[in-house]
Structure 1
Amino acid sequence: MSRAACSRSGSGGAPSPRTPATAGSDQVHLLGHSAGGWLGRAFIGRAPGSALNKEAAAAAAAAAAAAAADVPLGPHPAVASLTTLGTPHRPASKGGARDMTGGALGWVDAQWPGAAFGAEGVKYVAVAGRAVKGCAQAARSKARTINGYAHEAYTQVSGEGDGVWGDAVVPTSAAVLEGASNIVLDGVRHSMARMGSFDERAGDDHVWYGSAQA
């Protein structure tokens, strides 16, 4: 599941240097859960007229065309900040794991690495959960356990899962972003879904990024 949301800040007055007068003085704060976070990074970069794709040549051509037309590639003037929740910020680099985004995540990370526009005034905050440790032995068991599930999920995201901590879907190490204000929340999971699909008692202490406790 991925979501992107926004809220406005500002209440009038002169627009900031990055805010177009036609849009008023308000800017938005982007909030992206899971894939919504790296898509938010791409939105801030706003390559006009181009789409996310895995072909470096096509991406370069789009950037060149935009530059030739004197169209800025970023940062988007209406964005004040981006907060990501459990976002995998980099493609898998180990174990030969297949990039489930078809190359889009790698392209975004190469075009706008880390807090790409922090120096231009965009604030980046990356929130990562640390709740479940992946276990290869549990993954091989016939019983469905959250540790086994986490092992498989972490392996898909980062290429390794045994002994890795994360929010049960994204490893903690993959959800931090270089140059951002990184926050690690102990006991916080990726999704609102409880453990009913596993051979374990769900319990009443399930906390995810959208929980009041988080």
Structure 2
Amino acid sequence: MPLPTVILPGYLESAIAYRQLEQSLLELGFPTVTVPLRRRDWIPTLGGRPVTPILQQLDLTVKQTLQEHNAAQINLIGHSAGGWISRIYMGEKPYFPSGNVQPPIWKAYPLVATLITLGTPHISQERWTRRNLDFVANNYPGAFYQNVRYVCVAGKTIFGARRRGSWLAYSSYQLTCGIGNTWGDGITPIAAAHLEGAENLIIEGVNHSPRSPGIWYGSPEPLKVWVQHLI
């Protein structure tokens, strides 16, 4: 029996955008649920503030899923920012405190069998996101927990360049890894989407977001490439 799977949406995204991916995984035999986020749930995290509200909803969803399926572990799929947020969730170091509240610790790595990140920027040069991403990189570098299988999926779709049609990609790549002239999924460059020690995959022709025109990581064909890594 496959392990239950939890999907954590990307930044400013809601659970609705992942319904097709959720359904595809269900049809393949993986009991799947998406963290029930709404776009407005991200508002408290804007400007590089702590993502604690998202982590709290992730934790609640994981605990409910484990109980519902009488399971000891889950597969965790993090799209975009959901990937590095998942790495904070697995960690055992105190996360940023909020006001006078003690910094929370989730220490969920024993609950995660496989972490799959889809188009996740694991590094950033952008000042609003660096605080969170530096916390992850400094405390949990690479495929940090040996008992967790890390699978990092990158897209090779758009080469960033200072010309029409490639300018957004160029700017996004440069903000993420410091280099604009490189390959990526239109938002996240390959160089930022992979982790040392992980099973690093590259899929050609996928766009970053489920709302992008064309195919994205969760579309039927790209899904075949990475779903085999689920347990």
Partner of 1:56: none
In structure 2, relative to structure 1, the CA distance for the partners of 1:82 and 1:194 (3 Å cut) is: closer
Aligned equivalents of 2:187 and 2:159: distance in 1?
A: 10
Alignment of 1:19-30 (within 5 A): 25-30=71-76
In structure 2, relative to structure 1, the CA distance for the partners of 1:194 and 1:32 (3 Å cut) is: closer
Alignment of 1:66-145 (within 5 A): 74=107, 76-92=109-125, 98-118=126-146, 121-136=147-162, 138=163, 145=164
The 8 Å contact of residues 109 and 145 in structure 2, kept in 1 or not, is answered as: no
The 8 Å contact of residues 134 and 147 in structure 1, kept in 2 or not, is answered as: yes
* Structure 1 SS opposite 2:116: strand
Structure 2 regions of 5+ residues with no counterpart? 1-9, 23-29, 33-65, 223-231
* Structure 1 SS opposite 2:218: coil
User: How far off its partner does 1:43 sit?
Assistant: 0.7
Aligned equivalents of 1:8 and 1:27: distance in 2?
A: 12
Partner of 1:34: 80
The one of 202, 208, 211 equivalent to 1:193 is 211
Amino acid corresponding to residue 184 of structure 1 in structure 2: I
Aligned equivalents of 1:152 and 1:167: distance in 2?
A: 13
1:159 lines up with 2:178 in the alignment? yes
In structure 2, relative to structure 1, the CA distance for the partners of 1:169 and 1:28 (3 Å cut) is: same
User: How far off its partner does 1:74 sit?
Assistant: 4.4
* Structure 2 SS opposite 1:81: strand
1:131-183 Cα distance to aligned partner (Å, 9 max, x none) = 000012x1xxxxxx43111011111111220x210000000111011111111
Structure 1 regions of 5+ residues with no counterpart? 10-21, 54-60, 67-72, 93-97, 139-144, 196-205
* Structure 2 SS opposite 1:169: coil
User: How far off its partner does 1:25 sit?
Assistant: 4.2
Aligned equivalents of 1:52 and 1:125: distance in 2?
A: 26
User: How far off its partner does 1:105 sit?
Assistant: 0.5
TM-score normalised per structure 1: 0.65
The one of 159, 163, 166 equivalent to 1:147 is 166
Higher alpha-carbon Rg: 1
Aligned equivalents of 1:184 and 1:33: distance in 2?
A: 15
User: How far off its partner does 1:108 sit?
Assistant: 0.9
Amino acid corresponding to residue 173 of structure 2 in structure 1: Y
User: How far off its partner does 1:62 sit?
Assistant: 6.0
* Structure 2 SS opposite 1:103: helix
Higher helix share: 2
How many residues align structurally?
Answer: 160
TM-score normalised per structure 2: 0.61
The 8 Å contact of residues 189 and 208 in structure 1, kept in 2 or not, is answered as: yes
The 8 Å contact of residues 206 and 217 in structure 2, kept in 1 or not, is answered as: yes
